Amino acid sequence: MKNNILNVFSLLLLFGLLQSACSGGVKKDYKAVDIQDLAKNQTEVHGTEIKEGEIEFKNPLNADMVKGGQNIFDLKCNACHRLTSEKLVGPGWAGVTKRRTPTWIMNMITNVDMMLEKDPEAQKLLELCLVRMPNQNVSKEQARDIIEFMRKNDGEQ
């Protein structure tokens, strides 16, 4: 039965092809290009992976970066994260710089899709929170400022 339908279908295809072959001299004045890539590379930034060792830390903390990080927190993060250990939508930030490596945190901020696809710890968090950490269009530099603010929040000087 299935085979029979397949046969009819292939016959149809075959004769469809025969037909267009006979129409001859088809002129293409429009060149189709691969447009699947076109929606990429736009204002909404998905960062590239940040590797271990790319980020440097110094003490004392950089006050400007701490301030910058706090401003981003107020605008883009505190809707879901508290500075205590209380879980709201996402986990509270208290102690996060002790629990996670800085690259892990930065990738979670700038590279959420990659992390949720690959990183077992990130996947565990999704199971716990049930809301995907949103891409908040934070640049690598801004993410670094956020880390500085988190370090401050964790009591570093």
Partner 1 sequence: MNKEIMIFKRMQLLSLFGFVLFATFLMNACKPKGIQTAMGGDAAVKAYVPPGKYDEFYNFVSGGFSGQMSVYGLPSGRLFRVIPVFSVDPEKGYGYSEETKPMLNTSHGFVPWDDLHHIALSETDGVHDGRWVFGNGNNTPRIARVDLKTFRTAEIIEIPNSAGNHSSPFITENSEYVVAGTRFSVPIGDKQDVPINTYKENFRGTVSFIGVDPASGKMHIAFQILLPGVNFDLARAGKGKSHGWFFFSCYNSERANTLLEVNASQKDKDFVLAVNWKKAEEYLKAGKGMKKQVKYAHNSYDEQTHSASSSMENEVIVLDPKDCPDMVYFMPCPKSPHGCDTDPTGEYIVGSGKLAAVIPVFSFTKIQAAIAAKNYDGDYEGIPVLKYDAVLHGEVKKPGLGPLHTEFDANGNAYTSFFVSSEIVKWRLSDLQVLDRVPTYYSIGHLCVPGGPTKKPWGKYVIAYNKITKDRFLPTGPELAQSAQLYSIDGDKMKLLLDFPTIGEPHYAEAIPAELLAKNSTKIFKIEENKNPYVAMGEKNAKVERKGNEVHVYMTSIRSHFVPDNIEGVKMGDAVYFHVTNLEQDWDVPHGFAVKGANNAELLIMPGETQTLIWKPERVGVFPMYCTDFCSALHQEMQGYVRVSPANANVPISFSTGKTNPAPTNQ
Least distance to partner 1 from the beta carbon of 110, Å?
A: 12
Q: Residue 1, interface with partner 1 (CB under 8 A)? A: yes
- Residue bearing tokens 């590279």: 111
Distances (CA, A) of 56 to 45, 59, 102, 111, 125: 23, 10, 10, 19, 26
Contact of 153 with 94, CB cutoff 8 Å: yes
Nearer to partner 1 (CB atom), residue 126 or residue 156: 126
C-alpha–C-alpha distance, residues 73 and 62, integer Å: 16
117 contacts partner 1 (rule: CB under 8 A): no
Burial class (CB in 10 A: 0-12, 13-18, 19+), 15: exposed
Among the listed ranges 56-64, 98-106, 129-137, 147-155, the one in contact with partner 1 (CB under 8 A) is 129-137
Instruction: Please tell me the distance from the alpha carbon of residue 137 to that of residue 62, in angstroms, as a whole number.
Output: 23
Site for partner 1 in 35-94 (CB under 8 A): 35-36, 38-39, 41-44, 74-76, 78-80, 88-89
Binding segment toward partner 1, per CB under 8 A, in 6-14, 57-65, 94-102, 103-111: 6-14
Contacts with partner 1 by CB under 8 A lie at 1, 4-5, 7-8, 11-12, 15-20, 22-30, 32-33, 35-36, 38-39, 41-44, 74-76, 78-80, 88-89, 130-132, 134-138
